[in-house]
Amino acid sequence: MTSQAKTPTALSTVRHQKKIGEVFVEPKANRLIMAVTLFLIHHLAYAGLPFLRFFVGLRRFIPFLRGMDMTGLDLPAADVLRAQKAVQDGAVYFAPNHPEMFTDWLIDWDVMSKVQRRCAFWGGFDIVNGGLSWLWLRHNLIANTPGGGGKAYSVKVAARGDGVLLHPEGDVAYTARTLQPVFPGVADLAERTAATLDGQKPTYIVPMVYRYRFVEDPRPGLHQRLSTLERRLSLPSTGGQNLGPRFFAFQRHLLARLAERHDIDLPAVADDNYFQVKQHFVERLLGRMELTLHLAGTGTVTDRVRRVRKTLRAIRRQGPAHEGRFREGMAKASVIEALHRYDPESYGQARLTAEQIAETLTRLRGALLADSWVDTLRSFMPLGCARRTAHVRVLAPLEVQPHRGRSADRAAHVAETLDRYRAAMTAGLSALDAEFAAADGAYAVDNAFRVTRALRRAA
């Protein structure tokens, strides 16, 4: 009996894991609460408070009066029918891209209200099991805690026909036109569900693409955001320049300031070497973290940052004494990630759209400004700098077969499913870009950091 009892150290570790939200709690969906939330999305979150949102003076002090500045949802009827048919026919995992924090959640809810209202949604454990866990669990949110509890619950929900929605990119990258490296979870869950059902009905992954597009001039709002970042980060002011030159000057100044802050020697930053110098900084800072955490510096930058974050979370589980080290390390990882995601493949073309500038500033603000609760709230609820429309497209469902071979070959089966998903999403994002190519040019700027196709591939 004594040998089965938990030691005080183990018990304190479990308590600490509960405190930081790493223990899975099964959702308790409440249809009334979910219906109220949907009403608030349509009548408050999209457009903000009626009448009050138009008072410029009030908006300056209470920016959230404007809500998310969304005109609404562009979702073709044929796409709704495609999603509904998949739910009627089989077990479904809806898998959209993840271009923006919080806004995506609103769109998730709005879309599923038209497709399957009993759908469950995956979310970060630090949010779902945070201070508002009672509320989130009653919205049928599944916390992505370690241990597999969320996976077992997802298979059960999908198998009974309710559907599960998750964003395979995991973290929000603020790269709306580019699909970031995806986690294998969606393919793994779909294969598990297919094996559980064993031919009773098909299992599908339904890819979905989200895109947010300005429908009014965003340049005044973008200038205001640049001024805020320059002031808060003590950077040289670039006011008075047009949006394009100002944006690129801001990025050069920021990279030089970050190098100074982290004591990293860099060559002089210029337009024609920005991407190379920026990546040099990323490699140096990431290498230092890996050395401190005793990690191998192998793989892509994305893989390495994920490994750093995983290690930091493991350190955090050891107890409250490690909280400061965890937060400092995660802040550095966020800086590395934000800079790395401004890559020549996504941002090296001849012209940049206003949406690309806006997402870059949002990504940098989230990584660099965390001094107050307002900064935290803005990171969680990024506001548009002008009115936007949410465009959603539901792609053809991908049927997933159970793996019937050797268990050693299952990983290859899951990887093949993930490749099919990645290819479908890339094609879907490209189709959406083509659909709005003419409109995107209205507020685009010449790209001072433009790179040739050959250099883009090399980078």
Q: Which pLDDT tens digits describe the chain residue by residue (459 residues)?
A: 444 444 445 545 555 455 445 688 889 888 899 999 888 888 777 776 665 555 555 555 455 556 678 888 999 999 999 999 999 999 999 999 999 988 899 899 999 999 999 999 998 878 888 778 888 899 999 988 877 789 999 999 999 999 999 999 988 889 999 999 999 999 999 999 999 998 899 999 999 999 999 999 999 999 999 999 999 999 999 988 999 999 999 999 999 999 999 999 998 888 889 999 999 999 999 999 999 999 999 999 999 999 999 999 999 888 888 899 999 999 999 999 999 999 999 999 999 999 999 999 999 999 999 777 777 777 777 777 888 999 999 999 999 998 877 777 888 999 999 999 999 999 999 999 999 988 888 899 999 999 765 444 555
CA–CA distance from 410 to each of 363, 402, 404 (Å)? 36, 9, 8
Strand partners, 165: 94, 121
Judge whether 54 lies within some domain. Answer: no
C-alpha span between 156 and 161 (Å, rounded):
9
438 and 379 belong to one structural domain: no
89 and 110 belong to one structural domain: yes
286 and 415 belong to one structural domain: no
Q: Tell me which residue has tokens 């599923």.
A: 112
232 and 373 belong to one structural domain: yes
- 25: Cβ contacts below 8 Å, ≥ 6 apart: 129, 133, 137, 143
SS3 350: coil
Mutual angle of helices 243-261 and 274-293, in 10-degree steps: 30
Ranges of H-type helices in 198-340: 219-232, 243-261, 274-293, 301-316, 323-340
Q: For residue 25, what is the DSSP state?
A: -
Judge whether 229 lies within some domain. Answer: yes
166 and 246 belong to one structural domain: no
Judge whether 39 lies within some domain. Answer: no
Q: Tell me which residue has tokens 């029918």.
A: 81
258 token code pair: 């970050």
436 token code pair: 């709005």
Q: For residue 248, what is the DSSP state?
A: H
Strand pairing report for 203-214 and 388-394 = antiparallel
CA–CA distance from 207 to each of 18, 146, 331, 356 (Å)? 33, 25, 32, 23
C-alpha span between 44 and 42 (Å, rounded):
6
Instruction: Count CB neighbours of 132 within 10 A.
Output: 11
C-alpha span between 222 and 455 (Å, rounded):
29
Which of 386, 401, 425 is the last residue in one of the domains?
A: 386
Q: Based on the number of CB atoms within 10 Å of its own CB, is 221 exposed (0-12), middle (13-18) or buried (19 or more)?
A: buried
Range of the domain at 228: 219-299+335-386
234 and 374 belong to one structural domain: yes
Judge whether 231 lies within some domain. Answer: yes
Judge whether 430 lies within some domain. Answer: yes
SS3 251: helix
186 and 202 belong to one structural domain: yes
283 contacts 300 by C-beta, under 8 angstroms:
no
C-alpha span between 70 and 223 (Å, rounded):
20
SS3 354: helix
User: Which value, in Å, is the radius of gyration of the alpha carbons in the chain?
Assistant: 23
SS3 37: helix
Judge whether 57 lies within some domain. Answer: no
Q: Tell me which residue has tokens 């002011």.
A: 237
347 token code pair: 């941002």
C-alpha span between 73 and 401 (Å, rounded):
33
113 contacts 38 by C-beta, under 8 angstroms:
yes
Judge whether 320 lies within some domain. Answer: no
Judge whether 283 lies within some domain. Answer: yes
CA–CA distance from 139 to each of 31, 34, 120, 271, 452 (Å)? 8, 6, 8, 47, 47
Query: Per the structure, how many domains does the chain have?
Result: 2
165 and 287 belong to one structural domain: no
End-to-end CA distance of the chain: 60
154 contacts 45 by C-beta, under 8 angstroms:
no
207 and 234 belong to one structural domain: no
pTM of the model as a whole: 0.86
357 and 419 belong to one structural domain: no
361 contacts 229 by C-beta, under 8 angstroms:
yes
284 and 349 belong to one structural domain: yes
* pLDDT at residue 5 in the model: 44
204 and 228 belong to one structural domain: no
Of 99, 162, 85, 191, the residue nearest 428 (C-alpha): 99
Strand partners, 392: 210
